[in-house]
Chains A and B, each alone.
Chain A
Amino acid sequence: MTRWGMVIDLDRCTGCAACEVACKSENNIATVSPEQADLGRTFSWMKVMAQVNGDFPDTTMRFMPRPCMQCDNPPCVKVCPVSATYLGEEGIVGQIYARCIGCRYCANACPYTVKYFNWYAPEWPETARHALNPDVSVRPKGVIEKCTFCHHRLQRAKEEARSDGRELQEEDFQPACAEVCPTTAIVFGDLDNPRHRVHELKQDPRAMRLMEELGTEPKVYYLTPRA
C-alpha cells in the first residue's frame, strides 16, 4: 500500500522559508493586503514555525516547517459535514473546493492549525496571473484550503510513468517544498516502500511525530535536533 509521507530533519532546517515560497508559487497562493496580514489572514500551506526562548545572549530558537500532517486518522475529515475534506487512497488528505460550505469546522478540529480559509477571494494583479500554475485550481472565496502534498504532481507523475511503461520512482513525485529545500531537510516518499528514503528515516531514533498522543497518525515525521 502506498502511503505518501514526509520526514523533516530539524537538524538541517535553517528557517530560510524556501519551502514556503516554493509552495506558494506551486499552489497559486496569493498574498493578502498589509491590513489583512496584520489580522492574521496570510496563507502559508507550508509554514516555518519559529520559537525563541531566553534573552540575549542566551537565546535559542527552534524552527519547525509545518505542512499538513496528512493524518491517517484525520480529525478534520471526521467533522466535515459535507465530505469536502477526505482521506485519499494513498493517504493524502484532499480538499474539494467546489463542495466546501466554509463552516471552518475542520479548521477548528485540526490540532496542527494547517487549514486556511479564504476570507476574501484571492487576488492577483492582472499581469501576475501569468505566473499561475495551470495544474492547480485557484480557490474561490469562502472555502478552506491546505497543503495537499502537491497531489497534482502525483497525478502527472503517475500518468508519465504509465506512458513510459515503468513504475513510479521516488524522484518522480516530490512536492515543491522538498524539491527546493537547500539543505535537503525535507525528504519525501512512500513510507511503506523500503526503497524510499523516508521508509528508513521514519525509523530513525530521532524520528517523532507532532502530538502523537492524539492518535491522529500523522504522516509527517520530524527528526529531532541532536543538540
Chain B
Amino acid sequence: MRSDIAAKLASLPPDEQVLLRPLVVTTSRFYIAAAILGGILLWGLFAYYLQVHKGLGGTGLNRPEYWGIYIIDFVFFIGISHAGTLISAILRVSKAEWRRSITRSAEFITVLVLGFGAIQPIIDLGRPDRLFNVIFHAHLRSPLLWDVTSIGLYFTASTIYLYIPMIPDLAIIRDSGIKATWFYTFLAIGYQDTPTQRARLERIIGVLAIVVIPIAISVHTIIGWIFAMTLRPMWHSTIFGPYFVMGAIFSGIAAILIAMVVLRRAYGLENYFKPIHFDYMGRLLLLFSLLWFYFTFAEYLTAFYGAEPAEMRTFWAKLTGPFAVPFWAMVLGCFVIPLGLMSQKSMRTPRGTLIASIAVVIGMWLERYNIVVPTSVNPRWDMESLGHYFPSWVELSILAGTFAGFILLYMIATKFFPIVSIWEMKEGREQSVHEVAVRVAGYLPEPLVASARSE
C-alpha cells in the first residue's frame, strides 16, 4: 500500500478504516483465489464457445430430457438472488435494526448472481443468435416472456436498490481520496450528505424497499410458473409459485450466511458480523427449513393422494426410483441438517450456520434438479420410452464456470465497494439506538404511576 493512501486511511474514523481497508489492501491469497476462479471461468467460456459452434449436441440432453443443468442453474441462481434485495427489503421495511451490517453484502449477491442466472436460459438456447426474437416476435402468452420481463425488471430494480443506498458510502470514498477519486465522484453524483439529501435518500430507499418486494416475488413465482403452466406430471401444480419463492428466500438466506462467514474471515469483520447476526439468521434459516418441509410435504402428498398414474411414475422415480439418491440428499440438505443444527442455540454460530447453509445450498440445487430432471425423463405418455440424463463435460464446465464467475465478480466487487454499509452503521450508532428505545417505549403501555398522577 502506498504510504499516502495508508495515511489517508489512517486518518479516517474507525468504522471507515476497517470497512474501506479491503478497497486498498489486497492480499496474495486474493490473487491466487482470483486466478484459480478466473481459470475456471475461462474454461467455462471455452466450453460455451464449443457449444455455440457445434450445437447443443455437446450436452447430455436428449429427447425427452430437453432441459438439464442450465435450467437447473437458472432456477437456482435466480433463487439465490432473492438473498439480497428481498431479504434486505423485508428487514428494512420491518425495521429490523440488526440488518444494518448485512444488507449491502446481500444486495451485491442479488445483482451479481441475477446476471449469472439470467444468462443460463440463453446458454440453453439452441439459437442464441436469435435471442432478440423474444422482442421482435414477442408472444405474450408464453410464461418465458413473462419471465424475461420480470427478470429484466428485477435486475433493474435491484441494481437501483443496491446503488441508491450505496451513494453516501461512495461519497465517503470520494472524500477520503483513497481510490480512483474520479470514479467515485462520478458514482456519488454530487452527494454531500446534507440533511435534505439524506431525507430524500431515505425516502427513496423506503419506497424502493416496498416496490422491490412484489417484483422479487413475481420473479420466482414466474419461474415456478414456467414449469407449472405445462401439463407435465409433478410440474403442473398451483403450489409452484409460492413454493419457488419460499425456496428462493431459503437458498438466499443460506447464501448470505456463507458470504458473511467468508467476508468475516477474509476482511476481519468480526465486529460487524457478530454472533447475534448469525443467531438471528440461523433462526431465519430454521424457519425456512420448516417452511420448506411444509411446502414439499404438501406438494408430494397431493400428488401421492391423487395417485394419477402419470404423476405417480415421476413420484416413485423420485422417492424410490433412479432419483432416490438426489431426492433424499435434498431432504437431508434442506431439512434434516438445517433443522438439526439451527434448532440448537449452540450451533447458531458462524461455524454452525456455515455448515447448515452449505447443506441448504446443495439441497436447494438438488431440489431444482429433482424438479427439472425426473419430470423430463418421465413423459406423461406411458408408451414413450423413459429418458436418461447425465450431464456432459460441457455442461459441467459451464456450471463450474458460472459458479467461479459469480464468486470472482463478488470478490472483485468487495475491492471497489464497502461490503458493509458505512453510513448505515453510522446512522445506527447515531440515531437508531435512540430511535429504537423510543419505539420500544412506544410499544409499551404508559407507566401506571404516571397515569394515576395525571388524573
* Residue positions of A touching B, CB distance < 8 A: 36, 39-41, 49-51, 62, 64, 66, 75, 78-84, 99-105, 107-109, 111-113, 116-121, 140-144, 210-211, 214, 216
B231 touches A75 (CB 8 A): yes
Q: Given B65, B121, B376, which contacts A103 in the complex, CB threshold below 8 Å?
A: B121
Q: Given B121, B141, B379, B387, which contacts A78 in the complex, CB threshold below 8 Å?
A: B141
- The residues of B that contact A75 with a CB separation of less than 8 Å are 230-231
A105 touches B62 (CB 8 A): no
Within 8 A of A (CB), among B97-139: 121, 124-128, 130-131, 133-134, 136-139
Chain B nearest CB, measured from A127 CB (Å): 24
B56 touches A79 (CB 8 A): no
- The residues of A that contact B148 with a CB separation of less than 8 Å are 81
Q: How long is the Cα–Cα vector from A209 to B226 in the complex, in angstroms? A: 26
User: Which B residue sits closest to A66, measured CB to CB?
Assistant: B383
Q: How long is the Cα–Cα vector from A49 to B383 in the complex, in angstroms? A: 6
User: Which A residue sits closest to B142, measured CB to CB?
Assistant: A81
- The residues of B that contact A120 with a CB separation of less than 8 Å are 54-55, 57
A78 touches B55 (CB 8 A): no
B384 touches A79 (CB 8 A): no
Q: Given B55, B59, B137, which contacts A121 in the complex, CB threshold below 8 Å?
A: B55
Q: Is there a chain A Cβ closer than 8 Å to B45's Cβ? A: no
- The residues of A that contact B380 with a CB separation of less than 8 Å are 111, 211
- The residues of A that contact B131 with a CB separation of less than 8 Å are 101
Q: Given A81, A112, A113, A142, which contacts B127 in the complex, CB threshold below 8 Å?
A: A142
Chain A nearest CB, measured from B282 CB (Å): 38
A141 touches B381 (CB 8 A): no
- The residues of A that contact B187 with a CB separation of less than 8 Å are none
Chain B nearest CB, measured from A35 CB (Å): 10
Within 8 A of A (CB), among B263-312: none
Q: How long is the Cα–Cα vector from A155 to B142 in the complex, in angstroms? A: 29
B231 touches A107 (CB 8 A): no
A104 touches B67 (CB 8 A): yes
Q: How long is the Cα–Cα vector from A108 to B229 in the complex, in angstroms? A: 11
- Residue pairs across A and B with Cβ atoms less than 8 A apart, 13 shown, are A39-B62, A79-B143, A81-B142, A102-B125, A102-B126, A104-B124, A109-B230, A111-B379, A113-B384, A118-B55, A120-B55, A141-B56, A141-B57
Q: Is there a chain A Cβ closer than 8 Å to B391's Cβ? A: no
User: Which A residue sits closest to B59, measured CB to CB?
Assistant: A119
Q: Number of B interface residues, CB 8 Å?
A: 48
A80 touches B142 (CB 8 A): yes
Q: Is there a chain A Cβ closer than 8 Å to B179's Cβ? A: no
Q: A51-B383, A108-B66, A120-B57 are in contact. Are A100 and B130 (CB under 8 A)?
A: yes
Q: Given A51, A82, A113, which contacts B64 in the complex, CB threshold below 8 Å?
A: A113
Q: How long is the Cα–Cα vector from A36 to B62 in the complex, in angstroms? A: 9
Counting from the closest, the 7 A-B pairs by CB-CB distance are A102-B126, A142-B126, A40-B62, A119-B57, A81-B144, A49-B383, A120-B57
A79 touches B63 (CB 8 A): no
| Most interface-central of A39, A99, A112, A211 (chain B CB within 10 A) | A39
Q: Is there a chain A Cβ closer than 8 Å to B415's Cβ? A: no
Chain B nearest CB, measured from A121 CB (Å): 6
Q: How long is the Cα–Cα vector from A39 to B68 in the complex, in angstroms? A: 14
Q: How long is the Cα–Cα vector from A1 to B148 in the complex, in angstroms? A: 37
Chain B nearest CB, measured from A176 CB (Å): 21
A141 touches B139 (CB 8 A): no
B63 touches A41 (CB 8 A): yes
Chain A nearest CB, measured from B225 CB (Å): 11
Q: A64-B383, A120-B54, A211-B381 are in contact. Are A108 and B126 (CB under 8 A)?
A: no
Q: How long is the Cα–Cα vector from A22 to B131 in the complex, in angstroms? A: 35
Q: Is there a chain A Cβ closer than 8 Å to B92's Cβ? A: no
Q: Is there a chain A Cβ closer than 8 Å to B61's Cβ? A: yes
Q: A40-B63, A103-B121, A113-B379 are in contact. Are A118 and B231 (CB under 8 A)?
A: no
A118 touches B62 (CB 8 A): no
User: Which A residue sits closest to B387, measured CB to CB?
Assistant: A40
B127 touches A105 (CB 8 A): no
Q: Is there a chain A Cβ closer than 8 Å to B21's Cβ? A: no
- The residues of B that contact A103 with a CB separation of less than 8 Å are 121, 124-126, 144
A116 touches B125 (CB 8 A): no
B55 touches A108 (CB 8 A): no
User: Which A residue sits closest to B147, measured CB to CB?
Assistant: A81
B137 touches A108 (CB 8 A): no
Q: A119-B55, A211-B381 are in contact. Are A105 and B144 (CB under 8 A)?
A: yes
User: Which B residue sits closest to A76, measured CB to CB?
Assistant: B230
Q: How long is the Cα–Cα vector from A116 to B379 in the complex, in angstroms? A: 14
**Quick one: CB contact mask for B191-231 with A, threshold 8 Å, 1 for yes?**
00000000000000000000000000000000000100111
Q: A51-B382, A113-B384 are in contact. Are A214 and B231 (CB under 8 A)?
A: yes
Within 8 A of A (CB), among B224-268: 226, 229-232
Q: Given B64, B127, B383, which contacts A102 in the complex, CB threshold below 8 Å?
A: B127
Instruction: With A49-B383, A49-B384 given, name 10 new contacts (CB 8 A).
Output: A39-B60, A51-B383, A75-B230, A82-B138, A101-B130, A108-B67, A108-B232, A108-B376, A143-B127, A144-B126
Q: How long is the Cα–Cα vector from A107 to B145 in the complex, in angstroms? A: 16
Q: Given B54, B134, B142, which contacts A79 in the complex, CB threshold below 8 Å?
A: B142
B142 touches A105 (CB 8 A): yes
